[in-house]
Amino acid sequence: MIAKSALNPDGSHLPRLARWARSAVSMLVLAASLAALVLVVESQYGPLWLSESLGRALPESLGPGGNAARAERDAARLTEVEENRYRALAGFLSKRFRVSEDVTFDLVSLAHTVGQQLGLDPLIIIAVIAVESGFNPIAESVAGAKGLMQVIPRYHTDKLEEFGGEKAVFDPAANIVVGAQILKEYVRRTGNLGIALQMYAGALGDHEDQYTNKVMNEKYRLQQVLTQRPSRNPATKTATARPVSYPPVQ
């Protein structure tokens, strides 16, 4: 019940109450407009952006004894040698794939942090990104593989769950972490990097190891950037020879 002091003589609300009501309606309209704008932007460009994803913490399960906060601190505290190394790689990759050098530097830095914590060669991670997507974070194959390392979300929902679900596959940081975890898991199961790479590509039936050779050739190019030696074709077959029989794959 409204008190008489809040009413005009004719029984109507005071102007102050009317102004308050109009202000409340205006705020609701503004909030609704902002919410609609967010939905439009997310539907057009996706909710996950590189600058945000690289700033977010990596999952606690990144690796044995892994720690999200420590991973971020490690990525931020680069020595001069590390920064020069990453800059050299980023410069080479940005020219080759026509992508932003600053963004590529962040991806190279993240690949090194993830690789070091998982016990996986960072250059292999970078080489897989180069082969799989050419550093396009929104790449998608006809088979449903998505993002930088072409992860198929429906096969790895458990790993993506730590990043918020399957939509996180286009988050560059999440994609690199999950892709590296998958590859490391295959290395543990097979005991052979070459076979692990063929498994990653879904190409175990290719006994010429074409995918493995592509990745190893890419890694060799990256090594040449760091060592500044004249480029030549590496003998990848010797380094990635298969054993006589494959370990069982679950």
Contact 166, 216 (CB under 8 A): no
Q: Could you tell me if 152 and 76 lie in one domain? A: yes
Whether residue 87 is found in the same domain as residue 206: yes
In a domain, 155, yes or no: yes
* 225 in the same domain as 127: yes
Q: Would you say residue 247 lies in a domain? A: no
Could you tell me which residues come within 8 angstroms of residue 191 by beta carbon, excluding any fewer than 6 positions away? 247
pLDDT value for 207? 86
Distance CA 206, CA 23 (A): 68
- In this structure, are 177 and 83 located in the same domain? yes
Could you give the CA distance from residue 88 to residue 211 in angstroms, rounded to a whole number? 25
185 and 70 housed in the same domain: yes
**Residues 119, 132: one domain?**
yes
* 3-state secondary structure at position 140: strand
DSSP 169: G
- CATH number of the CATH domain containing 83: 1.10.530
For residues 94 and 87, the answer to whether their CB atoms sit within 8 Å is no
Q: Is residue 208 in a domain?
A: yes
pLDDT in tens, the chain (250 residues): 444 444 454 544 445 545 554 555 455 544 454 444 334 334 443 444 454 555 444 555 554 444 444 555 555 567 888 999 999 999 999 999 999 999 999 999 999 999 999 999 999 999 999 999 999 999 999 999 999 999 999 999 999 998 999 999 999 999 999 999 999 999 999 999 999 999 999 999 988 999 999 999 999 999 999 998 544 554 444 344 343 333 333 3
Say if residue 59 is in the same domain as residue 98. yes
203 lies in the same domain as 150 = yes
Q: Are residues 211 and 114 in the same domain?
A: yes
Distance (Å, rounded) from C-alpha 129 to C-alpha 146?
11
Do 80 and 23 belong together in one domain? no
What pLDDT, on the 0 to 100 scale, is given for residue 39? 44
- Nearest one of 133, 141, 119 to 193, comparing CA atoms: 119
User: Do 38 and 103 fall into the same domain?
Assistant: no
pLDDT at residue 73 in the model: 57
68 and 31 housed in the same domain: no
Q: Residue 30: inside a domain, yes or no?
A: yes
The answer to the question of residue 246 being in a domain is no
Q: Report the SS3 class of residue 13.
A: strand
The whole-number pLDDT of residue 134 equals: 96
Residue 187 lies in a domain: yes
Domain range for 27: 15-45
Residue 107 belongs to a domain:
yes
**111 token code pair:** 């690949």
- Distance of CA 238 to CAs 194, 209, 212, Å? 11, 12, 12
What is the number of structural domains in the chain?
2
Positions of E strands within the chain: none
If one counts every other C-beta atom within 10 angstroms of the C-beta of residue 101, the result is 14
* Coarse DSSP helix, strand, coil percentages of the chain, rounded to the nearest 5 percent: 65, 0, 35
Phi and psi dihedrals of 151, rounded to 5? -85, 135
In this structure, what are the phi and psi dihedrals at residue 140, rounded to the nearest 5 degrees? -150, 130
Q: What's at 54, amino acid-wise?
A: L
| Euclidean distance between CA atoms 133 and 15, whole angstroms | 62
- Whether residue 244 lies inside any domain: the answer is no
